[in-house]
Amino acid sequence: MKDKYHILYALSGLFLVTSFFSSCKHQEHEYHNITDKIEAESKDYQGISISSEDFIGDIKTLEISEGAHTFLIPERKSQIKSYTCTECHSKSLAQMQNENEAKKAHWNLGLNHADANTMNCVTCHDGSNMDNLISLTGNTLDFNYSYRLCAQCHTNQFDDWKGGAHGKKIASWAPPRASMTCVNCHNPHDPGFKSRWPAKFNTQTEKERR
């Protein structure tokens, strides 16, 4: 008789212990949190069948490698209306300044970027070769890689952009990554976003809340 009770106790004890352990781990939730899940499930990530190439469309891109990041950005030079610039700007800036009757070009362009102590036209444009840009130390920079010019001062934004926290991607989230470059969103002569009216006002919510 006593043995029977023993077995009963042992069984119920075993049942309690197993139910205690099994109840902690919910069947449907394999992972403790989303970070664990991402880490575990991305270990054998093989790539996906979707490609961003179908969505980039006619946009010409070029591949850049910055640090550990390699991605596509839109090509720029073919988008500039009257490139090459030297088709008009045949003389260098120094020559033009010496002439008495200097013709004014791009008079409609203002510069609303930093202040006059920091920047003027030739901080970025090469006065002796208008087809290219120029770095702070006087090196030639291609218009296609104008982000390198911006990165001279805006280092934090540059880091975020390389990683993907700053800026927008072109059309698709899928690889290969294609991101917009600085000048696709910011006008380099006036880079700030302007204050404006919101695109939408919800009249119904307004009514309901009154």
Partner 1 sequence: MGDSIKKWFSLNLGNSNTKPSGSCGCGNPSGGCGSHNSENTDENAIGEERHKDGFEQVFDVKMDRRSAFKKLTASLMVGAGAITTSCSVIVGDETKEKAQIDWEEQFKGNYKLMSDEEKKGTVDRLVRSYQLRTGKTISMSSKNAEEDVLFGYAFNISKCQGYMDCVTACVEENNQDRSSQMEYIRIHEMEDGKGFNFNEADDNYYHEVPAEGHFYMGTQCFHCDNPPCVEVCPVQATWREDDGLVVVDYDWCVGCRYCMAACPYDGRRFNWSTPEVPEEEVNKNQHYLGNRMRKKGVVEKCTFCVQRSRAGKNPACVEACPTGARIFGNLLDPDSTIRWVLENKKVFRLKEDLGTEPKFWYFMD
Residue ranges in contact with partner 1 by CB under 8 A: 29, 33-34, 37-38, 41-42, 45-52, 54-55, 156, 160, 163-169, 171-175, 177, 179, 185, 193, 195-206, 209
CA distance 62 to 147: 13
Minimum distance of partner 1 from residue 121's CB (angstroms): 27
**Of 74 and 167, which CB lies nearer to partner 1 in the complex structure?**
167
- 74: tokens are 């839109």
Minimum distance of partner 1 from residue 96's CB (angstroms): 37
Tokens 């009216």 correspond to 197
Minimum distance of partner 1 from residue 174's CB (angstroms): 5
Minimum distance of partner 1 from residue 56's CB (angstroms): 11
**Of 5 and 193, which CB lies nearer to partner 1 in the complex structure?**
193
| Residues 170-173: contacts with CB under 8 Å, at least 24 apart | 170/52, 170/55, 170/56, 170/59, 170/61, 170/72, 170/74, 171/52, 171/55, 171/56, 171/57, 172/50, 172/51, 172/52, 172/54, 172/55, 172/56, 173/52
Short-list 142, 165, 189, CA closest to 69: 165
**Of 135 and 172, which CB lies nearer to partner 1 in the complex structure?**
172
**Of 134 and 182, which CB lies nearer to partner 1 in the complex structure?**
182
